[in-house]
Amino acid sequence: QLAQPALRPVAVQALSRIPHPATLPLLIEATDDARSPVRATALDALCPFADIATWPVVQRGLQDPAPAVRSAAIRGLLSLRGHLSADQLVEFLTPLVDDPDETIAQQAVYALGRLTGPAAATALLRQLPANNPASPPTASLQTAAVQALIWHNTTLALTGLVAAWDGLAPAARLALVQGLPTLVPELQPQAAQALQRWLGAMPAIPEHSLLRRHLVLALGQVGRAEAEPLLRSLLDDPDRGVQLHAEAALRQLQR
């Protein structure tokens, strides 16, 4: 059936359900099909094998004109982490963060977040407005980059995120605030300092209400005693929601 173009979509679907090494060369062959759904299905079916023999077709898929194929190729690239160096992975993912299809760009950003090492963090930091003023990324890409950098859990990533605060879109700022309490304990003092600085500098106006509440909540979750004076000052905040979050944060500090 694979040799017959009309039957190839059905054949590839069937092969994708057979996790056996004998299907590997057949699926590799199917990545040359003229139809993008067939190419994408074949690439996705190759991922579980994590076989370096798939590397040439993954490379080709990363440059495929069809977004679905590029998406499958990104998954294929990550499946080869055991065979490729971190620098190689970053080299092939980085161009895709500028993909014209924003879904693919976000997928590439999140893929970089799953890697470790300074090369991946540096590639992600370039997606923040402070490091790309001539062509700032969209709010959704900023948010994805912030989340991916939080996953890195490193001083390099945190320092870059803190420095980028002023230029971040509101949604990206919120993602950063929500992510800081999840960092490893050794990064918490730096995170707490940033949270206090941002909260202290943010005007108590309605448009900042949601972010201020989350800043207060994050301070309670980080649990640094030096935040207590600022939190106590917010017990009389004009925003009732901020007051309630400050009360809850103070209770967390006292545990």
What does pLDDT average to in each consecutive run of 10 residues of the chain (255 residues)?
67 85 92 94 95 97 98 98 95 96 98 95 92 86 97 97 96 98 96 97 96 97 93 96 96 87
Q: What is the pLDDT of residue 106?
A: 98
Q: Which two tokens stand for residue 160?
A: 């870059």
**Is-above-0.85 flag for pTM?**
yes
Going from N- to C-terminal start, the domains of the chain cover: 184-255
Nearest one of 184, 181, 186 to 227, comparing CA atoms: 181
Contact, 115 vs 148, CB < 8 A?
no
Q: What is the DSSP letter of 207?
A: G
pLDDT of residue 254: 86
pLDDT at 92: 97
Task: Give the pLDDT of residue 17.
Answer: 87
pLDDT at 2: 58
Q: How many CB atoms lie within 10 A of CB 234?
A: 22
d(CA 66, CA 46): 18
Which DSSP letter does residue 96 get? G
The contacts found for 240-246 with CB under 8 angstroms, 24 or more apart, are 241/209, 241/213, 242/204, 242/209, 242/212, 242/213, 242/216, 245/213, 245/216, 245/217, 245/220, 246/216
Amino acid 6: pLDDT: 65
Using an 8 Å Cβ cutoff, are 147 and 179 in contact? yes
